Amino acid sequence: MNLMDDKKIEEIKNTLAKRVVPLPDGTTLPCLGQGTWYMGENPQERNKEIKALQLGLSLGMTLIDTAEMYGNGDSERLVGEAIKGRRDEVFIVSKVYPHHAGLDMISNACENSLKRLGTDRLDLYLLHWRGSVPLAETIEGMEKLREAGKILRWGVSNFDTVDMEELWNTTNGKNSMTNEVLYHLGSRGIDFDLLPWHREHNMPIMAYSPLAQGGSLRRQLLSDPTIQDIADKYNAQPLQIALAWTIRSNSVIAIPKAVQEEHVFANAEAAMIELVEEDLKRLDQVFPKPTRKMPLDII
Ligand SMILES: NC(=O)c1ccc[n+]([C@@H]2O[C@H](COP(=O)([O-])OP(=O)(O)OC[C@H]3O[C@@H](n4cnc5c(N)ncnc54)[C@H](OP(=O)(O)O)[C@@H]3O)[C@@H](O)[C@H]2O)c1
């Protein structure tokens, strides 16, 4: 089944090649990548999941986000299979468990991720969330992996503003390339302080669960009349508007996860929707930006 004609596919690819977000080291990435949580866990879904990731790559969503945690390595194995023969097209992001992020374990954890992914380097390696290992030690481990060429860059995930401040003030902490956090229209706590902090420090955010898990975290994203009205204006679906909102600036890379072919197309197509000031104002009225500090939303 081809849900889109070739002209549309070319348009999407060209848009994603142009709508890029710079990392602090100058590398540019498409504003949309692909998530893989829960992928690789059900053998019956395997082929479909591989095809979905390959389709996403072909459409220009060339960043793939995985983690040693996902399916105990099964997600990384699936990604490895999906990118076989296309390694150089892909920007692979994986994450280390906090309890593997000390100097005694990080190199082994990384080596295991590389094996499962069938590659010799990760493009980006993230600390999945903060645990009990001191930040300085994790940074040292990340820097050693970088010097050894096992990872090309590193960053963090689920860090709130105070954590970013601490990172910034730790030796080599400024080498972090990103912070992957939950961000969608129904959960915009980071708009108060974390996102401004990132803009000030020229470090993009990677937005996880940008579709609020298909609307299940916030059902109103699927049924809200304002979102629907804006969707009608762009001849789009409500979740495409939610995704377009997440990537409205060039300081956020969103990583929606999709297995259904129509979802992969819809997500890539959302890069073609550029919301205008009037749309953003209307969305702000229904989903207001917080006026005080909110604790970082985490799932
Ligand atoms: N760093 C962290 O701590 C952390 C935490 C959570 C997630 N993540 C990363 O972020 C990725 C994305 O987050 P997520 O998986 O939690 O949620 P998400 O991307 O917000 O939503 C995924 C769900 O939405 C559905 N979907 C996808 N596109 C759709 C569309 N266009 N219309 C309607 N439904 C659609 C998917 O269905 P189908 O799959 O059936 O198509 C799936 O059920 C994860 O996969 C993972 O890589 C990181």
- State the chain's mean pLDDT as an integer: 96
Ligand 1 centre from 125 Cα, in Å? 20
Question: Is the pLDDT score of 280 beyond 80?
Answer: yes
Question: Is the pLDDT score of 108 beyond 90?
Answer: yes
Whole-number pLDDT of residue 4: 80
For residues 159 and 218, the model is more confident at 159
Ligand 1 centre from 217 Cα, in Å? 11
Ligand 1, from 4, 36, 37, 97: best to mutate by most atoms within 8 Å of Cβ? 37
Residue 37 CA: nearest ligand 1 atom is 45
CB 218 within 8 A of CB 184: yes
- What is this structure's pTM? 0.98
CB 201 within 8 A of CB 175: no
The closest residue, in CA terms, to atom 35 on ligand 1 is: 214
Question: Is the pLDDT score of 274 beyond 50?
Answer: yes
Domains in the chain, please, with CATH?
27-219+253-264 (3.20.20.100)
Question: Is the pLDDT score of 1 beyond 70?
Answer: no
**pLDDT tens by residue, 37-95:** 999 999 999 999 999 999 999 999 999 999 999 999 999 999 999 999 999 999 999 99
Indicate the pairing of strand 28-30 with strand 20-22: antiparallel
Task: Find the catalytic residue in 70, 125, 183, 208.
Answer: 70
The closest residue, in CA terms, to atom 15 on ligand 1 is: 257
CB 182 within 8 A of CB 210: no
Whole-number pLDDT of residue 2: 57
Give the mean model confidence (pLDDT) for residues 269-289.
97
Ligand 1 within 6 A of CB of 116 = no
The closest residue, in CA terms, to atom 14 on ligand 1 is: 209
97 is catalytic: no
Per DSSP, 234 falls in state T
Ligand 1, from 79, 163, 209: best to mutate by most atoms within 8 Å of Cβ? 209
Backbone dihedral region of 38: left (phi > 0), alpha (psi from -120 to 50 degrees) or beta? Answer: left
SS3 (DSSP) at 275: coil
Q: Residue 121's closest CA among 101, 147, 159, 160? A: 147
**pLDDT tens by residue, 51-61:** 999 999 999 99
Place of tokens 């917080």: 290
Please tell me the distance from the alpha carbon of residue 293 to that of residue 185, in angstroms, as a whole number: 17
What is each CA distance from 64 to 43, 83, 91, 123, 258, in whole angstroms?
A: 20, 10, 6, 10, 12
**Total residue count of the chain as it appears in this document:** 299
Give the mean model confidence (pLDDT) for residues 98-113.
98
